[in-house]
Structure 1
Amino acid sequence: MQQATDADGMLPLDIDPKLAWALGHRERFPVDINRAPREMLLRVPGLGTRAVAAIMQARRCHRLRLDDLSRLTRFISSLRPFIITADWRPTLLIDRLDLRARTTPPRQMELFG
């Protein structure tokens, strides 16, 4: 399992802080979108406050599927290792050693490097 922090207790600066935390706490994932409390949904990399609010509202009416979630957020490919829906379960994805590389977007080239 990767560490969430470096030797100084800081999150790595080269990836998103939520992703770094999630990679360091893999035992808390995947999260069931249809049952998890709001606070845990906010820890899922790729879900922001608007998407979580939409999820909380939508799941009152019906169980959410992967297609439903793709309409609520645009980061569905990066969400897959961290979530469970009515029709999706990330079999063995969360345990992959290359999960960081698979969920981190490619680095943008610097203009003045």
Structure 2
Amino acid sequence: MEKKKACKSGYGVCDRAVMSQPNTPAKWNSRILDCCIDRRVCLCGTFCSMCLACQMAERYGECFCLPLLPTTMMMMRTSMRERYNIPGSLIDDWAVYMFCGPCALCQMAREMKHQLC
């Protein structure tokens, strides 16, 4: 009969194996200025960026009106980087949104399309 080890936490007996995946960093599927790769996203991001942002927020699992609040899309970019294991920092996300907001929005939309489809 197999012996079970007591958990270090003191909550009982551990009978599950702990498995982990290597945490290898990924990268964005497209670059920030690759806007013309997806024409629909490019046109929507250029002429109706708020519609694209609301659509993305809803698809990401957030409230569709999230982009109406200031800085939320920058924070969603940070969340997306963490979810998809893309390296970067909060300062990078701020700079990208400050200087290339529509391009950043289009990059995020392309990344979501790539990850979810």
Is TM (by shorter chain) over 0.5?
no
Larger radius of gyration, structure 1 or 2?
A: 2
TM-score scaled by length of structure 1: 0.29
Which of structures 1 and 2 has the larger relative contact order (alpha carbons within 8 angstroms, sep 6+)? 2
Q: TM-score scaled by structure 2? A: 0.29
